[in-house]
């Protein structure tokens, strides 16, 4: 088999965990062709983003010294433990030094100039992945697996210039193939590729959006016609809901692309919402696997094979959201709608859910709590005596997802009757024509209880499936 494996976040949090992940690669590389994608070590991308902002807003040379020292310490420690061969390790430490030198200069430049462009921000964010790839690759070489560390750009991930959310160009598939195919088939080398980052045609580093290393993995898999993508995590797979809310939550062995996308959009941290695009058309399955339970089957995301029993398959909860209400939009409704969404996009407000009632000409938009004030501010200009813009705080959104809902009558009825019986008031409802998902908003204090009620109502706790060892966290 040809498998693209992605390691990231907590599964590569220190030297031991990196060494462990490298040993997993060695195990599977015996009988398979493996391409590895790494994201940054846990917490590093966040710290880079914070550093960029800090250097932009103040003279920060003292901070920069400490920050670089801390990054050096973390990556040195990881390399010392994970890269066992001393000749390889020296090379890796050397590489870390050169990268952090470069980063220090960039941060100083930003601090002196007080200028941070989206291009330089992407450049700064790229360091997390660029630091980990040589360590991971060195760890593989130390245990006898031939390997080379490559940047996303080296591997052929060429993108447009939309820094912060760059889109891969359509022609990259053949470029990726021509660059990686000889390594993996002829030379039997395991490439370790930086996830999340790409490069423009003229050589500037771009990023694919936070969490984008999943997308790197699926792009590579599509280009290389891989048999599967494995996203390694510290949990067994996708759960019916967050076990912290419902302890009886269980592992879902199989889920369709569509369902996984709906769940990711509604708060379940399964994978980057755009990551499934490259593999869907080619029907390449994506498997979520647990580094602590590598022989478990995990969850497979693949073309739908849903049974009618899977009416509601999973429930997600987003707890920190608010609602923007635009009322009285009258006869200009379509125009106002267009305006609203254009402005929200311009100000980078992430829209989670929308609902419109035609009788009262009312439009309700659920956004992240952190975006609520901004959203209200940028939409205030619509107010004219008739049109009013207001907000509702302390809201939670619950989303019930399952392809079996499509065409099954009475699902919405069951959802809302169960809530009604339990005296949970529903503030807003939305279901699109795909019918894969019914989402609704309740007061924040009712959120968790609503999830429990529905988990019970649809018998999600009862089905007997494998052992669940850890949870999939919801945001």
Retrieve residue 344's tokens: 């929200």
CB of 131 to Mg ion, least distance (A): 12
Retrieve residue 8's tokens: 């990231």
How far apart, in Å, are the Cα atoms of 461 and each of 195, 253, 381, 399?
Answer: 36, 14, 48, 17
What distance lies between CA 62 and its chain's CA centroid?
A: 33
Does 126 contact Mg ion by CB under 5 A?
A: no
- Contact present, 418 and 454 (Cβ < 8 Å): yes
Nearer to ligand ASP, 195 or 298 (CB): 195
What distance lies between CA 117 and its chain's CA centroid?
A: 24
Nearer to ligand ASP, 159 or 241 (CB): 159
CB of 86 to ligand ASP, least distance (A): 29
Nearer to Mg ion, 40 or 382 (CB): 40
CA–CA distance, 411 with 430 (Å, rounded to integer)? 13
Selected from 39, 142, 200, 364, the binder of Mg ion by CB under 5 A is 39
Binding mask 192-221 for ligand ASP (x = CB under 6 A): ---xx-------------xxxx--------
CB of 44 to Mg ion, least distance (A): 7
Judged by beta carbon distances under 5 to 8 A according to partner kind, the member of ligand ASP, Mg ion, none in contact with residue 212 is: ligand ASP
Does 168 contact ligand ASP by CB under 6 A?
A: no
Phi first, then psi, for residue 243 (nearest 5°) are -60, -15
Retrieve residue 437's tokens: 């998902």
Helix (H, G, I), strand (E, B) or coil at 443: strand
CA–CA distance, 461 with 251 (Å, rounded to integer)? 10
CA–CA distance, 213 with 155 (Å, rounded to integer)? 13
Tell me the window of 34-42, 96-104, 441-449, 451-459 that interacts with Mg ion (CB under 5 A). 34-42
Does 216 contact Mg ion by CB under 5 A?
A: no
Retrieve residue 463's tokens: 């089905």
> 150 - beta bridge partners?
193
Does 273 contact ligand ASP by CB under 6 A?
A: no
Tell me the window of 41-49, 100-108, 317-325, 330-338 that interacts with Mg ion (CB under 5 A). 41-49
Binding mask 81-110 for ligand ASP (x = CB under 6 A): ------------------------------
| Structure-token match 């016609």, residue found | 225
Exposed, middle or buried: residue 52 (CB in 10 Å: 0-12, 13-18, 19+)?
A: buried
CB of 217 to Mg ion, least distance (A): 13
Judged by beta carbon distances under 5 to 8 A according to partner kind, the member of Mg ion, ligand ASP, none in contact with residue 195 is: ligand ASP
Site for ligand ASP in 24-43 (CB under 6 A): 39-40
Nearer to ligand ASP, 164 or 466 (CB): 164
CB of 77 to ligand ASP, least distance (A): 19
List helix spans (H) across 114-236.
118-125, 127-142, 152-155, 172-181, 213-223
Helix (H, G, I), strand (E, B) or coil at 226: coil
Residues that bind ligand ASP (CB under 6 A): 8, 39-40, 45, 128, 195-196, 210-213
Residues that bind Mg ion (CB under 5 A): 39-40, 45
């Amino acid at each position: 088999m040809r498998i693209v494996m992605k390691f990231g976040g907590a599964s590569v949090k220190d030297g031991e965990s990196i060494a462990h992940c490298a040993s997993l690669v060695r195990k599977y590389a015996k009988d398979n062709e493996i391409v590895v994608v790494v994201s940054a070590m846990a917490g590093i991308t966040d710290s880079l983003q914070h550093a960029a902002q800090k250097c932009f807003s103040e003279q920060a040379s003292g901070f920069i010294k400490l920050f670089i020292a801390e990054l050096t310490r973390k990556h040195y420690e990881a390399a010392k433990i994970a890269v066992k061969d001393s000749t390889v390790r020296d090379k890796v430490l050397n590489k870390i030094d050169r990268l952090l030198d470069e980063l220090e200069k960039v941060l100083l430049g930003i601090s002196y100039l007080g200028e941070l462009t989206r291009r330089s921000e992407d450049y700064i964010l790229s360091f997390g992945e660029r630091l980990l790839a040589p360590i991971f690759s060195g760890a593989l070489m130390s245990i006898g697996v031939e390997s080379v560390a490559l940047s996303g750009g080296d591997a052929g991930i060429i993108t447009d210039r939309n820094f912060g959310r760059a889109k891969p160009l359509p022609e990259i598939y053949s470029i990726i193939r021509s660059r990686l195919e000889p390594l993996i088939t002829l030379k039997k080398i395991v490439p370790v590729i930086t996830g999340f980052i790409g490069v423009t045609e003229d050589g500037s580093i771009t990023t694919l959006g936070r969490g984008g290393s999943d997308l790197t993995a699926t792009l590579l898999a599509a280009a290389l016609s891989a048999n599967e993508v494995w996203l390694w995590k510290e949990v067994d797979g996708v759960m019916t809901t967050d076990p912290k809310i419902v302890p009886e939550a269980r592992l879902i062995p199989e889920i369709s692309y569509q369902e996984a996308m709906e769940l990711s959009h509604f708060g379940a941290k399964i994978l980057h919402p755009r990551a499934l695009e490259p593999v869907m058309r080619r029907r390449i399955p994506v498997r979520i696997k647990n580094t602590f339970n590598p022989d478990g089957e995990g969850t497979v995301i693949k073309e739908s094979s849903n049974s009618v029993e899977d009416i509601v398959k999973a429930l997600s909860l987003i707890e920190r959201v608010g609602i923007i209400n635009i009322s009285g939009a009258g006869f200009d409704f379509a125009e106002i709608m267009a305006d609203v969404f254009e402005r929200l996009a311009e100000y980078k407000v992430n829209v989670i859910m929308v609902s419109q009632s035609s009788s009262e000409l009312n439009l309700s938009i659920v956004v992240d709590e952190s975006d609520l004030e901004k959203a209200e501010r940028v939409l205030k200009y619509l107010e004219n005596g008739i049109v009013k813009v207001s907000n509702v705080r302390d809201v939670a959104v619950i989303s019930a997802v399952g392809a079996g809902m499509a065409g099954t009558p009475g699902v919405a009825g069951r959802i809302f009757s169960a809530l009604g019986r339990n005296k949970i008031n529903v503030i807003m409802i939305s279901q699109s024509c795909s019918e894969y998902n019914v989402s609704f908003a309740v007061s924040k204090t009712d959120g968790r209880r609503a999830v429990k009620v529905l988990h019970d109502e649809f018998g999600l706790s009862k089905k007997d499936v494998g052992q669940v060892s850890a949870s999939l966290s919801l945001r």
